[in-house]
Structure 1
Amino acid sequence: MYAAPQRPGDSHRVMLRRFVHDVTGIKLPATKDLMIESRLRRRVLAAGAADFRSYLHWLFEDGGLEQETVPIIDLLTTNKTDFFREPAHFDFLMNRIVPDALARAARGRQTRFRLWSAASSTGAEAWTAAMLMARIALTRPELDWAILGTDISHGVVERATLAVYPMEELRPVPQELRERYIMTGERNGRPVGRIVPELRARVRFGNLNLMETPYPVETGLDAVFLRNVLIYFDPPVQASVIRATAAHLRPGGYLIVGHSESMTVRHGGLHQVAPGVFQKQGES
């Protein structure tokens, strides 16, 4: 059970912000208090609390925090994602990372390729990569690929696993890929698309908190996408997460961060080769 550290004069709002930071690494300043209250409004109602102040009292004085941890984290973590977001990284995957992996083995010999989407949110990043990997495998069947997506939020992991998206979210997917890898239908009267079983068989999702090292993820990975999550961490947490994720790369493997996060990567074993793309040093 988490026990929020208390200091003289701490308010319950301060304790909540500290709790989120300790558990997730995300630092929420006092200026985010209104946002926090707004996002947790449904939990106030679910708990039967009279107001937000009463809800916080229940969390920290009456033991409610233990049962509320999962929904609080789900509601306070940012899950902004898009298919083909920052497309230059997917171009690099297609034109450099995968061809290099294939070139290491003789043509026709099975090439094992493993990719980890380490802050996968609702799965758009992992499914984007999956479509591209599957397209390459059409002409290079020796490519044995698989993708792992992880996120701290249980809700987004469930949605990523289901792999059903409103059609408006799928608009960035090129038509050729939509026609081949997305099944269309309706859900609650709205047009939706679902990723085809062929891809769902090669992609799996699970819960993982980047604050909890070491990670229960295989090593020797060819690529780790760690995009647009480091910006929510303070520098010590950024360094810890980068070090821990890089440990899962094979020598010559690639760590990919968001374009705005390149300056956060200060790791002696990683060399920048493109905007937001770092290669692990050593013999591949």
Structure 2
Amino acid sequence: MNTEFLFTESDFTRVRTLIHRRAGIALGEQKRQMVYSRLSRRLRELGLPEFSTYLAMLESRPDGDEWQAFINSLTTNLTSFFREAHHFPVLADFVKQRKQPLEIWCAAASTGEEPYSLAMTLIEALGASAASSARIIATDIDTAVLARAAAGVFNLEQARALGETRLKRFFSKGTGANAGKVRIRPEVAAMVKFSQLNLLDRAWSVKEPVDAIFCRNVMIYFDKPTQKEILDRFMPLLKPGGLLFAGHSENASLVNPGFKPLGHTVYSLGGARRGVAA
């Protein structure tokens, strides 16, 4: 393979070790080309001649700013509004039974589509007044996507999939230089608080129990010991009767038997309960 930068098997092994140590991400052998492509941008920007030089720089500066750029480069941020749509009617039914105010943790906020979908669901289920007291904690390890999420600006074509009713209710259309874009309305944005959080950190900023945790399509990037550690830490952060929502290919109960399946990738610590479809 003709490459711009020297990228040896040893370099790839070091990248895999470092990203697992810093972010818990388990990169398979098949990810070599992806790693080269994404990190090559960092080498170009920093004017470095080869991967070994870049990795040595990282290792020599354990608290350096480049670590965040390294993590941002290797994280995957595939998302969309109301992705895995079967979860949102479950959430709507669930929140109607819960004591107010509600707190929901979105543990992989990415560019904001998921936490804003949660906010829209709460408004539709509870009404704007009741939902306004809810708090959606939206975290991600990637600071670049969090900045985009907090801005709340999306392409109009991307938001059209929501339908005209939701588009009018929850977004403002841009004009002039912003034509073709939409911004999430302030009353929706006010329900969401974005912050950086690494699920591997020893201490999380989320310390008090919440009504529901959305951690979807995250565990697939971790090995089984890391998955179990994170799920173990989720357990005391769910209020009694609280729910965990996982991704379509993730099975929390296989990793941590304390989580009981209630439906398709919806889990509770207390087993089946009324109001949640099994």
TM-score, with normalisation over the residues of structure 2?
0.86
For residues 66-105 of structure 1, the aligned pairs below 5 Å read: 66-95=64-93, 97-101=94-98
Q: Name the counterpart of 2:226.
A: 237
Report the equivalent of 1:172. Answer: 161
- 1:114 corresponding residue in structure 2: 103
What is the distance in 2 between the residues matched to 1:124 and 1:114?
18
Which residue number corresponds to residue 221 of structure 1? 210
Provide the alpha-carbon RMSD of the alignment: 2.5
Structure 1 residue 116: Cα displacement:
0.5
Report the AA paired with residue 151 of structure 1: D
Counterpart in 2 of 1:105?
Answer: none
Q: Deviations over 1:146-168 (max 9, x none)?
A: 10100000001111111111122
Q: Which amino acid aligns with 2:204?
A: Y
Distance apart, 1:17 and its partner CA: 1.3
Deviations 1:248-269 (A, max 9, x none): 1101000110121025653343
Question: Which sits farther off after the overlay, 234-243 or 180-189?
Answer: 180-189
Q: Name the amino acid aligned to 1:78.
A: T
Q: Aligned residues, how many? A: 265
Contact 2:132 2:187 in 1 (8 A): no
Structure 2 gap ranges (5+): 1-7, 274-278
Write out aligned runs for 1:1-284 (5 A).
11-60=10-59, 63=61, 66-95=64-93, 97-101=94-98, 111-138=100-127, 141=130, 144-185=133-174, 191-262=180-251, 265-281=254-270
Instruction: Indicate if the aligned counterparts of 2:253 and 2:261 stay in contact, CA closer than 8 A.
Output: no
Q: How much does 1:88 deviate?
A: 0.4
Unaligned runs of 5+ in 1: 1-8, 103-110
Structure 1's 38 and 186: CA in aligned 2 closer, same or farther, altered over 3 A?
farther
* 1:206 shift after superposition: 0.3
TM-score when normalising by structure 1: 0.85
| Identity in percent | 34
1:45-73 deviations in whole A, cap 9, x for unaligned?
1111134454345444x659833201110
Quote the residue 2:3 is aligned against. none
The aligned amino acid for 1:244 is: R
Go from structure 1 to structure 2 and tell me whether the alpha carbon gap of 1:155 and 1:269 turns closer, same or farther (over 3 Å shift): same
**2:252–2:267 contact (8 Å) kept in structure 1:** no
